[in-house]
Amino acid sequence: MTKFSVKLKQLIEDSGINIYQLSKNAELDRTTIQRSITGARLPSHAFVKKLCDYLRLSPFERDELMVLYSIAKVGENTYAGRIHVKKLIEQIGELHLHGISYENIKKSARVFGDIEQEINVISGQYHVNNMLRDLLEEEIFTANSPHISLTIPFNYTYLFDCLQHLYLGYKDQAVIEHIVRLSKNSHNEQHKNVSLEMLSHVLPLAFCIGDGYRPHYYYAAETTVNDILVPMPYYLYTSKYLITLSADFKTAILFNNGKIKDAYHNEFRKRLTQTVPFIQPLANCEDMVSAYWDTLSTFGQLTGVIEPQPCLARFYTHKLVDDHLRLDVPEREAVKQGLYAFYDRYEEITDHLKSFFSIEGLKHLVATGIMADLPPRYALPFTIEERKHLLMILREDIRKDSFKARLIDPSKFLISSLASIQLYKRNCLMFVAADSISGRSVACRIEEQSIYDAFLDFYESLPDSDLLFCKEDTLHILDEFIEQLGNM
């Protein structure tokens, strides 16, 4: 029996009604109910919802039963992966929606001071935490060019909370190089969703604090058991000090010895050449076009997008590009030709593309004429007539099912106003964030199989979920915005 069938049986018993009465009064098949509570059969989603209505379940009971139903339908690991992906996307969305400001951080760090001993042992979680916090503050507030390199995993949450808090306020002044390990066998039960958990720390930092955070990853077969067997498996160094850490983060050794620090520094630089960078900074419009082209040519067609605004690229004509690309864009002619070729390619892509986009992004486009993928630094906003024309073409393509696009229900699923998530045919996932104010863009291209598989599964589950508006509701909302533009 599944947890779903056990819970359903309990709820029916609590209602005080037998299977025969339930079947007759709710007009549901008695055999299906019996097989559902024995675990012999999993009923349809509509069947379960009707049972919930008739049993008069509380919102909490209904939610619990529907979660157990989803787990029974896809399995615990797949369901957990979908929850991880949704939380990660929403985490980025919340950061971009509310913004982050640590401008009130005062440069009042307690300078760690001169350390006479070359080797210093610090024991106890409290003392280790305080020591690391003081060293980070000293590096960021007093070093001429703050630089922190580390191989510490994200489960040392105190360290990364401190690092994030400090760095978000001084992102233009520091560089953080970070090497993290991914399991070779991430499909093994023991390692399921570990890569997703790691990504949930990497992406929010990368998309919100500039290009100073530089995470790299590598694959290894080791587990945390191996870490425990190594006395001091992790390390961090600043411009002045080297710190090694035990696997439980309760013991640290602080080295004030240039030769030892140099040895670790050289080893770290060597390891960096053997790892894969997560983040690709895009300094300008030409870099962005180049990154898209490279990904398309390497990994095949773009097959799915979760994005702030509807994908309108297939409708961009050469004239539209020429009219809107600013005259002062560096290498304008080369960029323009690249955009011509890139947008022409979208006519082939969109036949296979599914786009899920947000109401907030649509509102922003209608109100300003600014597309998230065309920052004002590079492109002039669309006119009201152009906005209306583009949305009317979009609406017609959705109506005819020549473009599979749906609006996301913001009450159930929050996505970023700046970042898009793109899935490519040959096992590639790309995150792109474009800041409309600064024009800065960041791309994160991920080829890691378990991460790609998890996002692909989540993406493919969306049309059957309640996180999207149906086709009819999507068209109705588009009609309202088109009418609004007609009145502007």
Q: Which residues pair with 179 in a beta bridge?
A: 216
Task: Identify the CATH class of 119-278.
Answer: alpha beta
E strands present in 239-396: 242-245, 251-255, 276-277, 280-282, 302-307, 354-358
Instruction: Tell me phi and psi for residue 383, to 5 degrees.
Output: -75, 165
Q: Give pLDDT, residue 290.
A: 80
Distance CA 277, CA 446 (A): 9
**Where along the chain do the CATH 1.10.260.40 domains lie?**
3-74
Judge whether 377 and 441 are in contact, CB under 8 Å.
no
Contact 357, 308 (CB under 8 A): yes
| CATH annotation of 3-74 | 1.10.260.40
Q: Where in the chain is the domain with CATH 3.30.870.10?
A: 119-278
Neighbours of 193 (CB within 10 A): 19
Q: Who contacts 69 (Cβ-Cβ below 8 Å, separation ≥6)? A: 4, 42, 45, 48
pLDDT in tens, 151-166: 998 889 899 888 877 7
Q: How many residues does the chain have?
A: 488
pLDDT by residue for the chain (488 residues), tens only, comes to 789 999 988 988 888 888 888 888 888 888 888 888 888 888 888 888 888 888 888 889 998 998 999 899 888 888 988 998 999 899 888 766 544 444 444 444 444 555 678 899 999 999 999 999 999 988 888 888 889 999 998 889 899 888 877 777 665 578 899 998 877 765 555 455 677 877 888 777 777 656 688 889 888 765 555 566 678 999 999 998 999 999 899 999 999 888 999 999 999 999 999 998 887 777 666 777 788 888 888 888 888 999 998 888 878 889 998 999 989 888 889 888 888 887 887 766 656 788 999 999 999 999 999 887 677 778 899 999 999 999 999 999 999 988 889 999 999 999 988 788 999 988 889 888 776 555 567 778 888 788 888 999 999 999 988 899 999 999 999 999 999 999 98
DSSP three-state, residue 177: strand
Domain at 281-486, CATH class: alpha beta
Q: What is the pTM of this model?
A: 0.80
> What amino acid occupies position 288?
M
Distance CA 351, CA 311 (A): 12
